[in-house]
Amino acid sequence: MPSSAPLRLLVSCPDRPGIIAAVARFLHERGANIVRSDQHTSDPRGGTFFLRMEFVLPDERRDLLEAFGLTVAAPYRMTWRVIDSQHRKRIAVLASRADHCLVDLLWRQRRGELAAEITMVASNHADLRSTVEWFGVPFHHVPMPAAGKAAAEAELADLLEGRCDVAVLARYMQILSGAFLDKIGVPVINIHHSFLPSFPGAAPYQRARDRGVKLIGATAHYVTAELDEGPIIEQDVVRASHRDDAAALARLGADVERTVLARAVRWHCEDRLLQHENTVLVF
């Protein structure tokens, strides 16, 4: 009997005819049942082709990866990986003093809404310790003094390295260096409280109020060494009024921040995101 937990195949390669047929034929010959397939091409004439496919196998096939690499991936020059959907990704959450995004993720994990495990929370302030520990998650306080930030970053990187599959910045109000990102070696997802590329950096709600915007939003993106310039995963907005001061905008925006970050984290943990240059494809 086939396993109920599907495997996920993620592929990117130069676009050409026959890719889907080759993949489907390979899986069919091994008795696999394809349960979902999504694809996209950046350009049907010489672009890049992307595929996300879920399938179940009739039994454990240890030869699958090697055979696929030789018979399908190599001829089509594929970059590819197969992921077992039963594998729960380990999330490390970084937060500061604001708790709305952090608590939302902890709550969703408790309800089984994330195909992942939050293994730790680290913060540059100790304010949220009791909240995090109430959820049964380890809390680590790593201060970030301006005079010793490099050493503090190194301590934080040592804490995360090898202990998470993705890091999530849940309103972590620190700029992380490229050296930190390289050391931890996993994707990092940030929630920024504006509709990027508008109002990057600090105090976006006040700047939105000063500009008189009628929509405010939030942006979840992958983190790069360039501040708020990483590939965008998800965005959403809510209407604002001239009657709303910066504090009111922050209250309105908090709901958007929670939902946008939760979607981005869930999609990442379900292997639904593929990057193409500075764009994120969401399958």
Active-site annotation holds for 228: yes
Tokens of 140: 């680590």
Strands of the chain, DSSP E: 7-14, 33-41, 48-56, 79-84, 89-95, 116-123, 139-141, 166-169, 188-192, 215-222, 232-239, 273-276, 279-282
Catalytic residue among 228, 236, 245, 271: 228
Edge-first strand listing for the sheet containing 89-95? 139-141, 116-123, 89-95, 166-169, 188-192, 215-222, 232-239, 279-282, 273-276
**Angle CA(10)–CA(17)–CA(56) in degrees, nearest 5?**
35
Q: How many angstroms separate the CA atoms of 2 and 273, rounded?
A: 26
What is the number of alpha carbons within 13 Å of residue 124 lying toward its C-beta? 17
Edge-first strand listing for the sheet containing 48-56? 33-41, 48-56, 7-14, 79-84
DSSP secondary structure of 123-187: ESSSTTHHHHHHTT--EEE----GGGHHHHHHHHHHHHTTT-SEEEESS--SPPPHHHHHHH-S-
Ramachandran angles phi, psi of 275, nearest 5°:
-100, 140
Active site residues: 228
